[in-house]
Amino acid sequence: MILDEHREHRDCPNLRLVLTTVVQSATPRRLGSYLRSELGISRRGLRLLKDCGGLAVNGAAAVPVGTYVEDGDAISLSLPSEASPGVNPESFPVALIYEDEHLLVLDKPAGMVTHPVKSHQSGTLANGVAGYLADKGICCASHPVNRLDKDTSGLVVFAKNPLAHDQVAAQIVAGAFQRTYLALVVGVVAADAGCIDWPIGEKPAKGAERYIDWADGKPAVTKWELVRAYPGSGAGDGADAGQPGHSLLKVRPETGRTHQIRVHLAAAGFPIVGDALYGGEGGSEEGEPPLIARQALHAAQICFTKPFSAEKLYLESPLPEDFAAALRHCEGAADTAGAAGTSDAADTGTASAAQPSKAPKAPKAPKAPKAPKAPKAPDA
């Protein structure tokens, strides 16, 4: 049972109280064992608490992790008051979706890097979070738990202390941190749902680019559902070729590989609109401006268990205007194609559906590479 929110530790001014809990146990237990099993504190977290003297029982500070605790004892956990290392606080507006004593959840706009890297040391979401906390007088090191690509918009979780970070990060590893994305892809998807289970690896000498690597790739699983298909103007040949149409997908990655959704959808034949790295291009007709000036991928929903609690947290992010505008364009194009199809059917006396003449096939797994032939034995 958590009793206290963040405040300065009474006995150690350089420590900041993370939480206080009351032991509920029928038999005496070692402090470290109790914290791991009942509060989910990681081994790394225990080391941090031990090294900084942040463990207190019934007001006695800096107690060893081997101390026995019993029913009714009050345990306090404190960590050093320090700013995020390598992240300079910057004052600019951040879209705060949720905040409590352990977490911040923000709505990252497209075009913003999540955390400082060599090419982006300033103007990142982490810089804005550090500035937000500094303006509120909260001295704590915030850490992003999940990250989004620069041109992907949506929900990002920041932890206010390492203990909370470890708990949420463990849920990601265990598959208990549920993420739902919306993706606008090129092509009309024929199936209603599917699962892509293809390993992903780093493309040699291509920097951040990834690809389906059946030999050495890491396991990657992406589930998707069709939300709506936007038929194009047909799929003729040459100069008369029409647009292939588009599809809005709801995507749930089961693993967290770099560029996973982008790589999987592109490999399945449905690249994300605006994703030039993986073949999505602009998604509009030749000579017209692109549907969207970045990849049409949005982290729309997350669901996970709050740290030190059994409470589920479910959050949503509204669709950004540039993404919504792209959908409106697709709706208009689909309506136009449907009207044209109806008119053609009336003229010819035949039924005509507003569908591409060659609908893209549902994603199929690529064939695994053949095993190499055994070398010939040398001549005797």
Q: Confirm whether 379 is a catalytic residue.
A: no
Q: If DSSP codes are grouped into helix, strand and coil, which group holds residue 331?
A: helix
Strand intervals (E) in the chain:
7-8, 15-22, 29-30, 55-57, 68-69, 74-80, 96-99, 103-108, 143-144, 153-159, 178-186, 193-197, 200-202, 210-212, 221-230, 246-253, 297-305, 312-316
354-372: burial string, b at 16+ Cβ within 10 Å, e else: bbbeebbeebeeeeeeeee
Beta strand 193-197 pairing with 200-202: unpaired
Residues 6+ away with beta carbon under 8 Å from 109: 95, 153, 320
Strand order in the sheet with 15-22: 7-8, 15-22, 74-80, 55-57
Residues 301, 197, 110, 145: is their CA dihedral positive or negative?
positive
The catalytic position among 149, 151, 166, 275 is 149
- For residues 280 and 273, give the distance between their C-alpha atoms in angstroms, rounded to a whole number: 5
- For residues 168 and 162, give the distance between their C-alpha atoms in angstroms, rounded to a whole number: 10
Tokens for 236, please give them. Answer: 């003729």
Active site residues: 149
